[in-house]
Chains A and B, each alone.
Chain A
Amino acid sequence: MDSKFTITLNGKEVEALPGQTVLDVARSHGVPIPALCHHKALIPRGSCRLCVVEDSGRVRASCTSPAEPGMNIVTESPRLRAAREMVLQLIFTGRNHYCMYCEVSGNCELQDLGYDFGMDHFTFPTYEKRFPVDNSHEFILLDHNRCVLCGRCIRACADQAGHYVLTEKSRGYRTLVVADLDVPLGSSSCVSCGSCVQVCPTGAFIEKRSAYQGKKEQIKTVQMACDRCPVGCTIDVHGNPETNSVVKIHGDWDAPPTFGLLCRTGRYLSLFDGRPRLTKATIRQDSEVADIPLDKALNLFMSRIDQGRAYVDGSLYNEELARLKELFPGRLFSLNPVTPPLPSTARIGDLGDADLFVLFRLDLDREYGALGSLVKKRVRSGAARLVLVDAAPEVFEKLPAERLSSEAFLARLDRVEGAGAAVALYRDLDDKEKEALQKMESLRRLWLPGETNTLGLARHGIGHAPVTGDTVFLFGENFQGIDVGNPGFLACFTPHENGVTEKAALVVPTLKGFEKQGTLFNLEGEITTRSAVVTPPAPLADIAKLPPPIPEKR
C-alpha cells in the first residue's frame, strides 16, 4: 500500500498522506482556507460551509473531503469567494451578534472571519428573533444568540470528553444546542469538564467567573501540570499580571497525559475555593488569639522544631517535602496512607485500548475526572465493557455497566479472564480483592493515589502514622477529618481556615496553588512542574524555604 500520494492544489502538485482531508493537505502546505466549525481535536462535521473549495469544478467542503490521488483542488476563485461571503452573511444574520460588549470580542473566530473578509455591513435583515440565554449552570453561561451551530461543543462533549450531554434539537434556523433531553444546563448530567467552553469559537459558551477579567492581549499564559489530583493533566494557566489573578484554566489538545481533557476540579474548583484565606500568622494563648508578624511566627516555630513530630498531607510539592525532611529528620509523617494496596501495572495510555474496565468504588465524574472521560469514551464507543464494583446507583448512571457488589464480582472472575485488555482502577482494595487481582495476570492495574503527591511522599520515604504527641506540626491544605488528639503545642502551616486552625497554638499562613513553584510526582511516577503565576496577597510562608532569611525586627 502506498503511503504518500499527490494532489493538485491551485495548479501545483503537492504531497498528501492517507487519512488527510483536503483541508489538512492545504493547511500543511501553508495554503489558507477559511473555516469555522473545524477544530483540530474534533471529528470534522462540515456544518459551516466556509471551507468550500472547487474539486475539478465541483464545490465541496474541504474539511469533510478525504484527499484522494489525482484530485484537482482550487482554493480561491470568484465563485468560492461569493459562496463564502454568502455563508458568512447567513451565519452573522442568522442569530444576534453584538460585538460591542461581548466578552470574547478580540478573541472570537466569527469576528476574525468578519475582519478577514472585510465584512463591513449586513446584506440580510437580522436582530428580529430572540434566542434563549441559559444561566442555570454554576460555571458556564450558554447564550444561544451567539451560537453559530458549528457543533464543536457537541463533538467535544461526546467524542472528546465522553460525557454525551449536549445535542441538538429542532431544525434549520430554529436549531438549538441542548443538554440531555432539553433541560437547563445546570440541571443536566453535565459534569463541568469545560471542554465545550474551550472549543466554542464565539461567546455562546462563556465561563461566568472568568468573564471580562482580561482581554487576549492582557493575558499571559503559562503551561504546567494541574495540582488538584495525581493525574496531573497539563493545563494552560491564563493569568492577568495587571490584576495579579488567574483568569481561567484551559487544556492543551496536544499535551499528555490527557490531551486537553480536564475536569471540574482542575478547571474550576482550583480557582474558586470558598474557604477563608489566611494572610496573618496568629498565636493562641489560653483562649486569646493574636496576630503576630510572620518573622516572629517563624522564629517561634524554629525554636520548637527539635521536639515533637511533623505531619504532611499530599498537597505539598517535592521541594517542600525535602525541606521538611531536613527540619524534622526521622520525625516526618504523612497524614494519609501512601502505599498502594497493589502497585500499578498499567499507565494512563492503556485506558485508550482497554476492552474492559473494572472500577472499584470510584466515581470518575467527581474525582480523577479526566480519566473518567477516557473510560467513558471507550465504553460509549462500544469498544470496552464496564464493571462497577460497589458503586452507588447514580455513579455513571447513563452508561451500560455491570454493577456488582464486591462478593458478586469475586464470585465471577471468569468474566474478567476472557477479556484480552482489561484494566482495573482502584484507590483502595480489601484483602480478598487484593488476593484476586494479584492472581489475574491478564488484568492490568492502575492505582489512583488518594492525594496529588502521594507518590512524592513515598519517594521521600515519608510513611503514614496517626497523629500523636504533645508537640505537633501540621503542613498542608486538607486536614478534614484528621484526629489531632490534644497536643500541648499544635502548629499549623496552611493557606486556608479549616477545622484544625481554630485549635492551633500557632497558625502560619502559607503559599498555595498558583503562588507556588516546584515539582510533583503524578500517578505514573513522572515528575510534573508547577510555576508561580501570581504573587501572594500578603507575605506568606514558603514551606520549601523554611526558615526564611528575614531577621526578627526589634
Chain B
Amino acid sequence: MKTVTIASTWCEGCSGCHMSFLDMDERLVTLIGKGLELTATPITDLKIPPMGTDIGIIEGSVATDHHEEEVKELRKRCRLIVALGDCAVFGGIHTMRNYFTVEELLERGYVSTESTVGGVPPASPELGKLLPKVLAVNEVIKVDFYIPGCPPPADAIHHVLNEILEGRMPKLEGNLLQYD
C-alpha cells in the first residue's frame, strides 16, 4: 500500500488547529489504514521530519526568526506544504501586533503592564527574535494548499487528507471553507 507521510509543526499558533486535526477522532485511524503515516509533529516523538516527507502541515504565522527558519526547513524536507488555519493562511490574529514596533510591544508586554514591577524584556539568546511584522506562511515559503479557519473544521482537514490519499486534488467549498 502506498504510504503518504505527513509532518506538522506550529509556529505562532495556539495549537487549536492541531486540536481540530485530532478532532477527526477515529477517522484518523481510518486514514492511517488508507496509508497515512505521521512522522514529526508537535505531538509525536520525532521532531525533525525526514527528507522527502510527502506533506508538511504548518499551523501558526511566522512571527520570529526561529519560525522563519523552521518553515524554510520544512519546505526543503516536504514535497507539499499545507497551511493550516487562519494564522498560517492569512496571518491571523497575531498580525494585530503589526501596528506597533517590536520595541513598543516588548515595553508594553514586559515593562509597563499593570501587574509588573521592575519588568525587563527577556533577552536570552535562545529565544526567537520578533520579526518586525507577523507574516502568513506564504509570504516566506511557497504554499501548495490552504485550509482556512479558526480553527478549520475537522471535516475540512479530513476531506483534504482523504482526497490526497485517494489520489484526488482536494477542493474546499461549502461548509468546509470557513474563515472563522
Contact = CB atoms under 8 A, between A and B. Distances in A.
A121 B138 contact: yes
B179 A105 contact: yes
Contacts of B134: 127
B180 A100 contact: yes
B74 to A, nearest CB: 17
A115 B156 CA distance: 14
A99 B89 contact: no
Contacts of B138: 121-122
Contacts of A96: 95
A120 interface: yes
Interface string B11-47: 0000000000000000000000000000000000000
A364 interface: no
B91 interface: yes
A105 B98 contact: no
Contacts of B172: 118, 120
Contact of B93 (A98, A111, A115, A126): A98
Interface stretch (B52-60, B115-123, B142-150): B142-150
Given A118-B171, A120-B172, A121-B90, 14 more contacts: A96-B95, A99-B86, A100-B179, A101-B93, A105-B180, A111-B179, A120-B146, A121-B143, A121-B148, A125-B139, A126-B90, A126-B95, A127-B96, A128-B98
Contact of B150 (A99, A115, A129): A99
Contacts of B76: none
A106 interface: yes
A130 interface: yes
B159 interface: no
B93 A121 contact: no
A100 to B, nearest CB: 4
Interface in A83-125: 96, 98-102, 105-106, 111, 114-115, 118, 120-122, 125
A314 B138 CA distance: 64
A466 B171 CA distance: 75
Given A105-B180, A111-B179, A120-B172, A126 B150 contact: no
A129 B93 CA distance: 14
Contacts of A101: 93, 180
A127 B95 contact: yes
A125 B138 CA distance: 10
B133 interface: yes
A120 B99 contact: no
18 contacts: A99-B150, A99-B180, A100-B92, A100-B93, A114-B179, A115-B177, A118-B171, A118-B173, A118-B177, A120-B89, A120-B148, A121-B136, A122-B90, A122-B138, A127-B95, A127-B96, A127-B98, A127-B133
Interface in B122-138: 133-134, 136, 138
Contacts of A125: 139
A98 B98 CA distance: 14
B180 A128 contact: no
Contacts of A129: 99
Interface residues of A, number: 21
B161 interface: no
Contact of A127 (B91, B143, B150): B91
Contacts of A100: 86, 92-93, 150, 179-180
Nearest to B61: A127
Contacts of B62: none
Contacts of B92: 100
B81 to A, nearest CB: 12
A365 B99 CA distance: 39
A128 B139 CA distance: 13
A168 to B, nearest CB: 22
B95 A120 contact: no
Contacts of B95: 96, 126-127
* Residue with the greatest number of chain B CB neighbours at <10 A, chosen from A101, A105, A111, A121: A121
Given A127-B91, A127-B98, A130-B99, A121 B179 contact: no
A408 B140 CA distance: 75
A547 B41 CA distance: 71
B78 interface: no
A106 B133 CA distance: 29
A126 B91 CA distance: 9
A469 to B, nearest CB: 62
B132 to A, nearest CB: 10
B137 to A, nearest CB: 9
Contacts of A98: 93, 96
B164 to A, nearest CB: 16
B83 interface: yes
A504 B146 CA distance: 68
B12 to A, nearest CB: 13
Interface string B90-113: 111101101100000000000000
Contacts of A122: 90-91, 136, 138
7 tightest CB-CB pairs across the interface, nearest first?
A127-B95, A130-B99, A100-B150, A99-B179, A120-B146, A105-B180, A99-B180
A537 B86 CA distance: 41
A96 B172 CA distance: 24
A34 to B, nearest CB: 16
Contacts of B96: 98, 127
B17 to A, nearest CB: 12
Contacts of A128: 98, 133
Contacts of B90: 121-122, 126
A100 B93 CA distance: 8
A96 B93 CA distance: 10
Nearest to A92: B90
Interface string A294-307: 00000000000000
* Residue with the greatest number of chain B CB neighbours at <10 A, chosen from A114, A127, A129: A127
A85 to B, nearest CB: 15
Nearest to A126: B91
Contacts of B177: 115, 118, 120
Contacts of A99: 86, 150, 179-180
